[in-house]
Every structure is written in structure tokens, then in C-alpha cells.
Amino acid sequence: MSAPAALRQHCALGRAIAVVAVCLLVIVGTYLLSSPAVGDGDTEEEFFSVRRRRRSSVDAGDDDLEAAVRGAAYANGTLIVSVLNRAYADEDGGLLDLFLRSLREGEGTEQLIGHVLLVAMDRPAFLRCSRLGGVRCYQLPAAQDGADDLSSEQLYMSDGFIRMMWRRIRLLGDVLKLGYSFIFTDLDVMWLRNPLTMLEYRAEEEDLLISSDQFNGRPDDIAGNELNTGFFFVASNNRTVALFDEWHAARDHSAGMKEQDVLNDMKRGGALRRLGVRARVLDTARFSGFCQDSREAREVATVHANCCRTMRAKVADLSAVLAAARRRLDGSSPVLRWPPHSECVKSWT
């Protein structure tokens, strides 16, 4: 080969290599830009390692729900879900405001807000949520049975309270069928610290991580712990979809029972074992509540106002919890001491 020909071939090869290098840089750059931001550290990436499953069929008209869920989810299809009505969304320092305040003030929790989907049971709650800015909101369609006015405060174990709990289970089952995994949290759960690594989720071994009212010290003792549905993580798969379908169907022969009591009856009857659902109970030392205060305040990630009947009492006692946590963070009180849950105690009298 002549020298000019060799030179031309060499130049052509150099241009080809340069083009390939540019293409690789574009691909890598696009991937990095499309990856979800995780704030400080890799906490979210470490926890949300579960892969999104392929969606199964849901009712027609769920496109809005899927769009809302997709907007809040991490890249692998995992998000945080909560439910509210007009009473919860009260503008005078209600539970919605307290919940968001806990996320903004908690240790490593502010970056989670963009992955929270707030599901409104009624139009006033949705409008209030939409006005907040920086949060994702979705309005649940009206119930087909017409019994859908759940905007007022629903006292514990009232008919409206029970109906609202069952509508919540139907919604969460639909989210699983769309292929998304999630943490569900009641609005009366304060997030004092980022709980993701504290969950210690084992993607290949667990389907459901759930809180309890009174933890007996044995996380694998599903039968012996009373489960609490105010805070849990569930991975989307065929086993959990079947669980939520069976759970929701049980409402037809569970008159006067809330969904949490029905789930506890189901697990005592062996439903989780029969469906192959691999569950673990969360320790109240980290996932605490008013039923059983954590003795390790330095380890607490969440505090749930369970064992409390009225919204007014929840707001009062949870405000005291956030104030105590704030004093510890700003250094005015180096030790976090739980305030007494006096209003919640009085709510039962």
C-alpha cells in the first residue's frame, strides 16, 4: 500500500473511533441525567433495589393513576404513598401539614418528598394538596356505590372510617397491579429520620415489611405480632397482588371490621403462608408509635400516633413529638425525650 493510501486509511479509522467515542459519551451522559437524584448518599439507591415487575390488568380508567404513580416513582418503580381527605388537609396545622413538616425537618428525609404521592379522597383535599407546591397529588375517583363522602373527620371505627380504609386497600392493590412497589404511610406517621436503610429490606427474600402496635421482639413471628397497617413496605409481585385481592374481597364478609383487623385475622388463619407472602414485622425501637414508645429514641425513624382516637389529639401530641425532635437537632436538648401522649390518652374518655 502506498504511503498516501495508508495515511488516508489511518485518518478514516481515526474519524470512526472519534465518532464511536462521542456516541458513547452521549449514551453515558443521557443515562446519568435520567437517573433519579438521591440527595446526599446512596440511601435510596441501596433500598430501592427491587426491580419493577410487569403490570397486570387493572380496571379501565386507571391511566390517571398510573401517570400519577409513575411521576412519583423512582426509576425502578418504587414510591411512597399516603392518603388524605378534607379533614386531614385542614389548613390550620392539620395532619397533612405535620406530615410534610416532618419530612422537611427530619434527618435525610427532605429529598424523599418528590417521591411521595398524596392520594386525595375528595375534591377539597386534592385542591389543598395541589396548592402546596412541590408535592405530587392524585384525586381518587368517586366510589361507584355512591357512598363516597369521606371528606369530614372519620372517627376511629366509625362507618366512614371503615369505608375509607377499604377504599385505601383497593387503591393500593391497583398500584401493585400496575407493577409498582411502595412504602405506605399514614399521615399521622412522623418521619424523624430517613427510614430506608433502617428497613434493612432483602429484595430476594421479603415481600412485605410491616409495623406493629406491640412488637414482641421476634420480627419473623407474623402470627404472634399484631400488625399495624399505618406503615409498611410491599414489593409488587404475584404473591402480594393475590394478597391484596383476597384482603379486599374479605370486606364482604367482615361487616364492622376495619381492614387492619381483617389482615390480622387472615394471617392468623395462615393466608400469608398459603399465598407464599414472605413478611417481616418492624421493630418498634425504630418504627415507633404511641401504643409502644421506643426506648431507643436515638434509633427512631418514624413515630405513629396509633392508640389515639381523634384528629385533634393526634395533632396535639404529634406536634409535641416534632418539637422535641427539633430541640435535639438544634442542640438545645442533646437527648430526645418523648413527651407524654396526654391528649391521645384523653381521647378515649
Q: Which pLDDT tens digit goes with each residue over 36-87? A: 433 444 556 555 555 556 666 565 447 899 999 999 999 989 999 999 988 8
Q: What is the mean pLDDT of residues 296-320?
A: 93
Q: CA of 131: how far to CAs of 168, 227, 229, in Å?
A: 23, 35, 28
Q: Which residues contact 76 (CB under 8 A, 6 or more apart)?
A: 48, 49, 50, 51, 52
The more confidently predicted of residues 93 and 306 is 306
How many angstroms separate the CA atoms of 158 and 160, rounded? Answer: 5
Q: Given this model, what pLDDT does residue 119 score?
A: 96
User: Which runs of E-coded beta strand occur in the chain?
Assistant: 78-84, 116-120, 136-139, 181-185, 189-191, 208-212, 227-234, 279-281, 287-289, 302-304
Q: Which of 111-125, 143-157, 241-255, 274-288 has the lowest mean pLDDT?
A: 143-157
Is 234 a residue whose pLDDT tops 60? yes
Closest alpha carbon to 50 in 176, 136, 172:
176
Closest alpha carbon to 290 in 300, 298, 279:
300
Provide the mean pLDDT of the chain.
83
| 124: exposed, middle or buried (Cβ count in 10 Å: 0-12, 13-18, 19+) | middle
Q: Given this model, what pLDDT does residue 26 score?
A: 44
Q: Which of 5-19, 216-230, 242-256, 295-309 has the lowest mean pLDDT?
A: 5-19
Alpha carbon 275 to its chain's center: 23
Quick one: pLDDT band at residue 275, thresholds 50, 70, 90?
very high
Is 294 a residue whose pLDDT tops 80? yes
Q: Which amino acid would we find at residue 47?
A: F
> Using one digit for the tens of pLDDT, what is the confidence trace for 280-292?
999 999 999 999 9
> Using one digit for the tens of pLDDT, what is the confidence trace for 145-185?
444 554 444 444 456 567 778 899 999 999 999 999 999 99
Domains of the chain as residue ranges with CATH: 65-286 (3.90.550.10)
Is 35 a residue whose pLDDT tops 70? no
Is 278 a residue whose pLDDT tops 50? yes
User: Which runs of E-coded beta strand occur in 140-240?
Assistant: 181-185, 189-191, 208-212, 227-234
| Single pTM value for the model | 0.83
CB 343 within 8 A of CB 126: no
How many angstroms separate the CA atoms of 246 and 267, rounded? Answer: 12
Q: Given this model, what pLDDT does residue 328 score?
A: 83
